[in-house]
């Protein structure tokens, strides 16, 4: 599957997520719908307006930049899948700064 070509939806559905999630770092390019599918597989829900909900409290997740985050805005799900970064440089910069990277 690591051919540089995005997987077809059929190939994507056949991914063994237990192997994928055991990796220390994974780089994957996903469509918006595929990202939402991944978030659901990680235990998150998406509300009627497209916002990602916490798997325990079922409240909207707050991104590292302080705002609520829609599934289509997610650029990265970081360790534990509890930290979600938006597709903007401010989210990445803040995360790197907070973690001394």
Q: What would the pLDDT profile of 8-65 be if each residue is shown by its tens digit?
A: 667 666 666 666 666 655 566 677 788 888 888 888 889 999 999 988 889 998 887 7
Alpha-carbon gap, residue 30 to 33, rounded angstroms: 8
Alpha-carbon gap, residue 66 to 98, rounded angstroms: 14
Alpha-carbon gap, residue 48 to 16, rounded angstroms: 28
Q: Where are the domains of the chain?
A: 24-98
CA-based angle 61:67:71, to the nearest 5?
55
- Name the one residue in this structure whose structure tokens are 């070509």: 5
Global confidence as pTM: 0.58
pLDDT for 63-82, tens place per residue?
877 889 888 888 777 656 56
Residue 39's H or E segment, with its range, is helix 32-41
| pLDDT for the residue 60 | 92
| pLDDT for the residue 1 | 46
Per-residue pLDDT band for 7 (boundaries 50, 70, 90) equals low
């Amino acid at each position: 599957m690591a051919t540089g070509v995005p997987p077809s939806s059929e190939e994507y559905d056949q991914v063994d997520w237990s192997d994928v999630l055991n990796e220390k770092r994974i780089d994957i390019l996903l469509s918006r719908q595929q990202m939402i599918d991944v978030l659901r597989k990680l235990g998150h829900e998406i509300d009627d307006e497209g916002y990602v909900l916490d798997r325990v409290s079922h409240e909207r997740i707050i991104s590292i930049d302080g705002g609520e985050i829609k599934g289509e805005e997610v650029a990265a799900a970081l360790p534990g899948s509890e930290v979600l970064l938006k597709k903007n440089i401010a989210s990445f910069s803040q995360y790197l700064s907070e973690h001394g990277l």
